[in-house]
Amino acid sequence: MEFGEEGLLQEPVSPGGQFINSSVLSLAILAILESQVPIDDSQTFFLLKNVFLPINPRFSSIMVEGADKKNKQWKKVTVKVEDHVHVPIFSSGMSPASYDIYFDEYITKIASETFPQSRPLWELHLFKYPTSHAAGQMIFKIHHALGDGYSLMGALLSCLQNAHNPSIPLTFPTLKSAKNETSSRSRAFEFMPKILSSVFNGAWDFSWSILKGTWVEDDRTPIRSGVEGVEFRPVSVSTLMLPIEEIKLIKNKLGVTINDVITGTIFMGIRMYIQEMNSEKSSSQNCTALVLLNTRLVAGYKSVQEMLIETNKSWGNRFVFLQVSVPKSSEVSKPLDFVWEAHNIIKRQRKSSAWYFTTRLWDILKKFRGAEAASKYIYNTLKNTSITITNMIGPLEQMSLVNHPIEGIYFIVTGSPQCLSVTAMSYMGKLRIALVAEKDFIDTNVLQACMKDAFRLICEAVNEFPIK
């Protein structure tokens, strides 16, 4: 991928990039890095110019109309780095608890702001005050049109080093597939039923996704107000930590995946919160979660160079939504049932062909009605459901950014027309769950407590099971 003269790149904006940067829908990813030491910003401009910008031409480009007026292209511009760096100023000498409040207010403010389309779609915010979590915090805000979480995390990680030994690369947890011990003859007999099941489930799931993208809405609950324009309302961001080793223990005992354990915990926490806030109707209210699925056929992060080469093309927005019904407490009462329900539903959805047909539908809408129509369809799917859940894998070792050891890292997604979204990221043996909730509608303190209680109850219940 090369630049020509300053002007158009030799690359159009992907359909996904156009869908999530339109007049209808605009999504952004915020990656928050918590520094173990006070932030020294003396090298910021140099690093952005010489390390960050060269990672991908899109970081030095804006989105413009193509010659055909239907498709957009990336246009290279001169980047004024100082326009992209923000350092808020507050009173000095206050307590970490006081700066916690300022940080919460600041992240709420920048999460609600939209990017100016006249300059490249990224920003860096340096919060240089000690909070209860860190000595300083670096916030990378990047528009989702530049790439999905996989792409952007790969880019961010390429700027980081192993904190204890920079010469040793960062490593990540391996994703091991379950062994298939079924004989070839048995697999042959199972092949046709699986194909038929995939077709049937795909048709059903695809039909349901169309309904969700048009007029069928979730019930109004304590996590879904159902009002218009919720994406423009202030949000509250809070996080909680879960130990990866305990999650793995649950996974091994139940024979499920780590994602199943995480999703089951979130589902149970949501139901407990709804019960706490609205006990009369909570057991039967319909809630749908959009669980993001990475469609790349890769097991871990690729380097930026690998993502950009012609034969791979794994950079970009390569995800689909799996529509998963949050189990009702009237039907699921035991803690482990939430994990098994998550496991069964997500397993079936992954094998369904619905996600393929959904992406084809987006392409058809774009072709015949334009990118705005496809964007509107995705917007309605988000608006008519209750929650989005997504997660990423982080490094096992502590990482460092220019001699700033990173104490913690998490990410959030903003701009969605939902009252609640949940993201999760592993780092140094712990899982950081971030809750992005509509301010003054969802009580994040109660919701956070419900999530912790759900995990505790699942841990207690799983102790009755032998390790598989």
Question: pTM for the whole thing?
Answer: 0.87
Is the distance from CB of 123 to CB of 141 less than 8 angstroms?
A: yes
């423009």: which residue's tokens?
A: 232
CATH fold label, 8-162: Chloramphenicol Acetyltransferase (3.30.559)
Q: What is the pLDDT of residues 319-342, one digit of tens each?
A: 677 888 898 877 787 899 999 999
The H or E element that residue 264 is part of is helix 258-277
Q: What is the pLDDT of residues 244-271, one digit of tens each?
A: 999 999 999 999 999 999 999 999 999 9
Confidence band of 179 (pLDDT split at 50, 70, 90) = very low
Q: What value does the CA radius of gyration of the chain take, rounded to a whole number of Å?
A: 22
What pLDDT is recorded for position 188?
A: 43
DSSP per-residue codes, 275-336: HHH-TTTTTT---EEEEEEE--S-SSPPPHHHHHSTTT---S--EEEEEEEPPPTTT--SHH
Confidence band of 432 (pLDDT split at 50, 70, 90) = very high
What pLDDT is recorded for position 3?
A: 37
Nearest of 55, 306, 17 to residue 146 by alpha carbon:
17
- 428/137 Cα distance (integer angstroms): 18
- 134/125 Cα distance (integer angstroms): 15
Which structure tokens are listed for 384? 């008519």
First to last CA, the chain: 48
Residues constituting the chain: 468
Same fold, 8-162 and 185-235+243-393+418-462: yes
Which structure tokens are listed for 83? 């326009």
CATH fold label, 185-235+243-393+418-462: Chloramphenicol Acetyltransferase (3.30.559)
Which structure tokens are listed for 13? 């904006």
Q: How far is CA 151 from each of CA 110, 219, 393, rounded to the nearest angstrom?
A: 22, 34, 12
């403010």: which residue's tokens?
A: 109
What pLDDT is recorded for position 219?
A: 92
Domain limits, the chain: 8-162, 185-235+243-393+418-462
